[in-house]
Amino acid sequence: MASLASNPVSSFFKKIRTKRKNRLEKADSFQKALYILLTLLSIFMLIPLVFIFVQSLKPYQELFITPPRIYVEEPTFNNFRELFVLSSSSVVPVTRYLFNSIVVTILTVVGVVIVSALCAYPLSKHKFPGHKILFATILLTLMFAPETVGIPRYLVVSNLGIMNTYFGHLLPALAAPVSVFLMKQFVDQVPNELLEAAKMDGAREFTVFYRIVIPTIMPAVATVAILTFQGAWGNVESSRLFMQDESMKTFPFFLSTITTGAVNSVARQGAAAAAALILFLPNFIFFLFYQRKVIATMAHSGIK
């Protein structure tokens, strides 16, 4: 029975090996050299990722070895225990910070995707007066550094009365010109004839947008979601500027406070390594699920 069950698996891997072997046999010397070069380059680019994982598992005697090692001889989870021991002394439970980060990240991703899509669709398919000037203005905002809009953002959030609320985390992130640009480039590729045919069949504007446009631009939606997730998950600016109530602050801000000064000290170096892995891991997992969509977006974002 075991041999019968293993036959489909072994045949599957045999097919994969056969395909790879055929590709290598058909490749010329230049392509083979290119394969080797790209393989070495990919291994080199994986080194920082491996270092993050390994660093969080190193005991203190291995953290300060010079030069640093890419491997760990005696892996341990004491760094994570130290991190949560430090968090247990906080007035607000660490679960509250984590809950705030999850809620804020989900709301920000959903909000940015919806707002960017609703902005990109009329800019692309409804040629209203001044649409080019409006789109150029949106692109112009890319030139401003985040520090230059810090005070205006604070004044807007303060005057709206949404300090110490989830809206205070969400509202500053909704203005995402990069997301609007990526989605508009994809909406431009949707044939106008397809939209007109749907309207002639009785479809309303929202139905056309939801049933035709959104499924077509899913690669751009996935890319925007990844970029927004990365920014929202690691964001500490909103907690530092807009949240005076400790129970409304996020997990990255909490980690930044307990590891402040850890870079140049021995006491919390292990906790800092564990905190870096915790902040990095969700971004890494989220990107792995949607990497194909990101590649498709980058390949088609400049094609009309």
Choice between 113 and 29, residue whose per-residue pLDDT is larger: 113
Q: What is the DSSP letter of 247?
A: G
Contact 268, 258 (CB under 8 A): yes
Q: How confident is the model at residue 3 (pLDDT cuts 50, 70, 90)?
A: very low
Specify the pLDDT at position 6: 46
Specify the pLDDT at position 95: 81
- Tens of pLDDT, residues 28-78: 777 778 888 988 988 888 888 888 888 888 887 887 777 777 888 888 888
Choice between 114 and 151, residue whose per-residue pLDDT is larger: 114
Does the pLDDT of residue 13 top 60, yes or no?
no
Residues 92, 233: Cα–Cα separation, whole Å = 19
* Closest listed residue to residue 87, CA positions, set 240, 232, 285, 246: 246
- Tens of pLDDT, residues 243-301: 988 889 998 888 777 766 544 456 677 777 888 888 888 888 887 777 766 666 555 55
Specify the pLDDT at position 24: 62
List Cα–Cα distances, 88 to 20, 82, 101, 139, 271, in angstroms: 52, 10, 18, 45, 13
Classified by CATH at the fold level, domain 89-300 comes out as: MetI-like fold (1.10.3720)
- Determine which of 157-166, 202-211, 221-230, 270-279 has the lowest per-residue pLDDT on average: 270-279
Specify the pLDDT at position 302: 47
Query: What is the residue extent of each domain of the chain?
Result: 2-85, 89-300
**What is the pTM (predicted TM-score) of this model?**
0.76
Specify the pLDDT at position 180: 92
Specify the pLDDT at position 271: 77
* Cβ partners under 8 Å of residue 87, min gap 6: 94, 254, 258
Specify the pLDDT at position 17: 59
Specify the pLDDT at position 110: 94
Contact 283, 234 (CB under 8 A): yes
Residues 220, 226: Cα–Cα separation, whole Å = 10
Mean pLDDT in residue range 206-234: 88
Residues 282, 233: Cα–Cα separation, whole Å = 8
Specify the pLDDT at position 14: 58
> What is the C-alpha radius of gyration for the chain, rounded to an integer number of angstroms?
25
Mean pLDDT in residue range 168-192: 89
List Cα–Cα distances, 254 to 34, 110, 245, 251, 275, in angstroms: 45, 24, 13, 5, 10
* Cβ partners under 8 Å of residue 283, min gap 6: 229, 230, 233, 234
Does the pLDDT of residue 81 top 90, yes or no?
no
